């Protein structure tokens, strides 16, 4: 920060102290809003927003678990909504204070993690699939294709136990959230068989390596895939695997500890306005859960099959669910075994 910028920001700092009572603390994933989303909200409501970020859902939960974290609005992923309700961390929403909320997509009007939308409003949804070079023939269409000998050394899987074990379970025809030790043992055997063929277990960084053509295919989050395809154009394609694939949704919720309930509702109401939600979906290349917002998107985005797959494709998806402590422990042991094999 050079001196001029610092001096220019002084009036802003002064304003900050004046409106100390009017500050909203928002804890979200990094860059999960459009560039103008927060400034516009601050101007319209005459408040300051402190926007904090977390890198994993677990980190978010750990940070708010104490019950006096200082945050007001958080963005729990769907499988964390129920646990957070059980831990008494979320405040019930007052829908009469969310007047302009657009119509939610049918799948999100009564989602399995919060059937009456009492605690959380679905924000964006994501999925995991396969990102691959469009020159590949035949094109991969199933998780099982990531075990093909021809890909040796040129594919990667995500560095995430739920994703890798999940893909193996799906390949075997089991449920994504299986807690059955014998199914999990078979999934582990699949992962162990695949490991020698893998270049690495990596997350977002895979984007560059696919764009550069170093890899042929990768298990990838749809959000990573969208950004890769934005850079590489037709060189890359994304597919929702035939055996089924994981789905997740991020939600907006208010912490029970928040003393700014009205302002927090205003913020949720603002984010769920169709035109605001549409701008976010457009700039972030994410899929909005808000049907009215989707209707405002340009046609090539509204009809993009990676962002908004047809009903048949969607039906193959399965939501991540919270797991029992016992199953988590078993899965961590399996993951450690896969990693140290």
Partner 1 sequence: MNRLRFWCLTPAGALLGGLFLIPLGIIFAYSLLTRGPYGGVFSPLTWENYSRLADPLYAAILWRSLLYAVIVTAICLMLGFPLALFIARAGRRRNLYLSLVMVPFWSSFLVRTYAWMFLLRDTGLINSALLAAGVIREPLTLLYTPFAVILGLVYGYLPFMVLPVFATLERLDKSLIEASADLGATPGATLLHVIVPLSKPGILAGSILVFISSLGAYLTPDLLGGGKTIMIGNLVQNQFTTARDWPFGAALSLILMLVVMGLLVPLQRRGSEGLL
As measured in angstroms, the least distance from the Cβ of 208 to partner 1 is: 8
Whether the CB-CB separation of 110 and 240 falls below 8 Å is answered with no
* Cβ closest to partner 1, residue 214 vs residue 230: 214
Please check whether residue 177 is in contact with residue 221, taking contact to mean a CB–CB distance below 8 angstroms.
no
Question: Which phi-psi region, left, alpha or beta, contains residue 236 (left: φ > 0; alpha: ψ -120 to 50)?
Answer: beta
Convert residues 256-285 into a mask of x (bound to partner 1 by CB under 8 A) and - (unbound). Answer: ------------------------------
Give Cβ neighbours of residue 292 (< 8 Å, ≥ 6 apart).
102, 103, 274, 277
Question: By CB under 8 A, which span of 8-16, 130-138, 174-182, 200-208 interacts with partner 1?
Answer: 200-208
How far apart CA 198 and CA 86 sit, in angstroms, is: 39
For the CB of residue 102, give the shortest distance to partner 1 in the complex, in Å. Answer: 31
Residue 138 DSSP one-character state: S
Mark 46-85 with x for binding to partner 1 (rule: CB under 8 A) and - for no binding: ----------x-xx-xx--x--------------x--x--
Q: Is 64 or 249 the residue whose CB approaches partner 1 more closely?
A: 64
212 binds partner 1 (CB under 8 A): yes
At its nearest, how many Å lie between partner 1 and the CB of residue 66?
Answer: 9
Contact between 181 and partner 1 (CB under 8 A)? no
Provide the β-strand partners of residue 163.
none
First to last CA, the chain: 48
Omega prior to 257 cis, within 30 of 0 = no
Give the DSSP letter of residue 290.
Answer: B
The reply to whether 324 sits near partner 1 by the rule CB under 8 A is yes
Shortest distance, position 184 Cβ to partner 1, whole Å? 14
Quote the least distance from Cβ 340 to partner 1, whole Å. Answer: 5
Does 161 participate in binding partner 1 (rule CB under 8 A)?
yes
* Position 44 contacts partner 1 (CB under 8 A): no
Contact (Cβ atoms closer than 8 angstroms) between residue 122 and residue 249: yes
What CA–CA distances, in Å, run from 62 to 56, 108, 325? 10, 26, 16
Task: Determine, following the binding rule CB under 8 A, whether residue 160 of this chain makes contact with partner 1.
Answer: yes
Contacting residues for 136 by C-beta, under 8 A, at least 6 apart: 216, 217
> In the complex, which residues of this chain contact partner 1 (CB under 8 A)?
56, 58-59, 61-62, 65, 80, 83, 87, 153, 156, 159-162, 195, 198-202, 205, 209, 212-214, 322, 324-325, 328-329, 331-333, 335-337, 339-340
């Amino acid at each position: 920060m050079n001196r001029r910028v610092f001096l220019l920001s002084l009036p802003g700092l002064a304003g900050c102290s004046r409106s100390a009572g009017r500050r909203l603390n928002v804890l979200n994933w990094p860059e999960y809003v459009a560039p103008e989303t927060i400034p516009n909200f601050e101007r319209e409501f005459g408040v300051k927003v402190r926007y904090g970020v977390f890198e994993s859902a677990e980190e978010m939960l750990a940070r708010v678990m104490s019950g006096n974290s200082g945050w007001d609005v958080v963005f729990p992923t769907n499988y964390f909504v129920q646990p957070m309700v059980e831990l008494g961390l979320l405040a019930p929403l007052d829908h009469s204070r969310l007047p302009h909320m657009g119509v939610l997509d049918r799948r999100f009007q009564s989602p399995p993690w919060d059937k009456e939308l009492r605690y959380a409003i679905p924000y964006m949804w994501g999925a995991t699939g396969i990102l691959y070079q469009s020159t590949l023939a035949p094109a991969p269409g199933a998780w099982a294709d990531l075990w093909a000998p021809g890909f040796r050394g040129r594919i990667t899987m995500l560095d995430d136990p739920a994703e890798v074990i999940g893909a193996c379970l799906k390949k075997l025809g089991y449920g994504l959230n299986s807690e059955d030790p014998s199914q999990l043992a078979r999934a582990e055997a699949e992962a162990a068989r695949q490991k020698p063929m893998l270049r690495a277990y990596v997350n977002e960084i895979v984007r560059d390596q696919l764009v550069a053509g170093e890899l042929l295919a990768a298990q990838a989050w749809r959000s990573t895939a969208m950004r890769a395809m934005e850079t590489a154009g037709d060189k890359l394609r994304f597919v929702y695997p035939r055996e089924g694939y994981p789905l997740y949704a991020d939600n907006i919720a208010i912490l029970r500890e928040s003393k700014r309930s009205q302002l927090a509702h205003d913020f949720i109401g603002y984010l769920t306005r169709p035109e605001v939600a549409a701008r976010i979906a457009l700039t972030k290349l994410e899929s909005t859960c808000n049907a009215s917002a989707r209707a405002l998107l340009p046609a090539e985005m509204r009809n993009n099959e990676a962002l908004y797959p047809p009903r048949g494709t969607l039906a193959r998806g399965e939501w991540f669910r919270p797991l029992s402590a016992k199953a988590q422990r078993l899965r961590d042991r399996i993951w450690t075994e896969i990693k140290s094999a």
